[in-house]
């Protein structure tokens, strides 16, 4: 985004919202955006981590921060997020949250699979639909949807996750074209293996699972 402007707050707006922001890539995005002078809203489930990160960012980068404790799989996620943000101009949206169950597809019941859809598919769609309309009406803004290299092909033992990452890429690519005439930039961040806490945990879990199922399928 450095080619756009040196004054990011003027270009995008005064606030950025990062969903899935308590650690890892979400935290990294929050810190980098705060460096540009944009106020930060962090959304995640773990209240302590959110409040700690908000405090660190506000002190280090001299920007305003706001923590929103929210389960992104909840049915009323849009109502809650609108209540917390309707009085703020969200000019930059980063949707980083994802659910990644590791194991054979049929080892997870439908309720667990629905949760993957709620967080990985409905979440970015809801946030993009709501905040994207506001950005379009203002004639400026930016949306970054986190995807994965796993979305480029079927990924055994991460079957449903890889399928949803393909959705995210296609959503972002299509919206890039639709929204550019309104001054809104949309992109997918297709991340590879990144040494985040969730990735380290998932690799440990994956190795454990494969050792148990080796030769059984």
Active site residues: 161
Residue 94 contacts residue 17 (beta carbons within 8 Å):
yes
Strands 141-148 and 15-19: unpaired
Please give the structure tokens belonging to residue 35: 């460096």
Q: How far apart are CA 135 and CA 92, in angstroms?
A: 9
Could you read off the pLDDT tens digit of each residue along the chain, which spans 217 residues? 444 556 888 889 999 999 998 888 999 999 999 999 999 999 999 999 999 999 999 999 999 999 999 999 999 999 999 999 999 999 999 999 999 999 999 999 999 999 999 999 999 999 999 999 999 999 999 999 999 988 888 889 999 999 999 999 999 999 999 999 999 999 999 986 555 555 444 444 444 544 444 443 2
Q: How far apart are CA 67 and CA 78, in angstroms?
A: 16
Residue 145 contacts residue 165 (beta carbons within 8 Å):
no
189, 192, 195, 199 alpha-carbon torsion, rounded to 10°: 90
Residue 197: predicted pLDDT: 53
Residue 22: predicted pLDDT: 85
Please count the residues of the chain: 217
Whole-model pTM: value is 0.85
The CATH class, in words, for 8-213 is alpha beta
- E strand segments, 31-140: 39-44, 65-69, 90-95
Query: Is residue 214 classed as helix, strand or coil in its secondary structure?
Result: coil
Strand order in the sheet with 184-191: 65-69, 39-44, 15-19, 90-95, 141-148, 184-191
Q: How far apart are CA 74 and CA 65, in angstroms?
A: 23
Strands 65-69 and 39-44: parallel
Domain ranges within the chain, ordered by starting residue: 8-213
The owner of tokens 């709620």 is 118
């Amino acid at each position: 985004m450095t080619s756009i402007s040196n004054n990011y707050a003027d270009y995008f707006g005064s606030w950025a919202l990062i969903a899935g922001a308590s650690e890892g890539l979400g935290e990294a995005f929050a810190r980098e955006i705060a460096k540009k002078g944009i106020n930060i809203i962090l959304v995640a489930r773990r209240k302590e981590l959110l409040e700690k990160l908000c405090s660190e960012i506000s002190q280090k980068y001299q920007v305003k921060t706001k923590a929103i404790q929210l389960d992104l799989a909840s049915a009323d996620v849009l109502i809650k997020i609108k209540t917390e943000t309707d009085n703020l101009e969200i000019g930059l949206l980063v949707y980083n949250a994802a659910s990644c169950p590791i194991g054979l597809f049929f080892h997870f019941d439908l309720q667990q699979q629905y949760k993957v859809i709620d967080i990985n598919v409905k979440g970015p769609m809801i946030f993009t639909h709501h905040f994207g309309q506001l950005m379009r009406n203002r004639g400026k803004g930016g949306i970054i949807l986190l995807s994965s290299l796993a979305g480029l092909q079927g990924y055994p033992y991460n079957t449903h996750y890889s399928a949803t990452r393909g959705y995210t890429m296609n959503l972002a690519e299509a919206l890039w074209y639709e929204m550019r005439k309104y001054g809104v930039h949309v992109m997918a961040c297709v991340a590879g293996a990144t040494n985040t806490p969730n990735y380290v945990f998932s690799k440990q879990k994956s190795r454990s699972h494969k050792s148990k199922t080796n030769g059984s399928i």
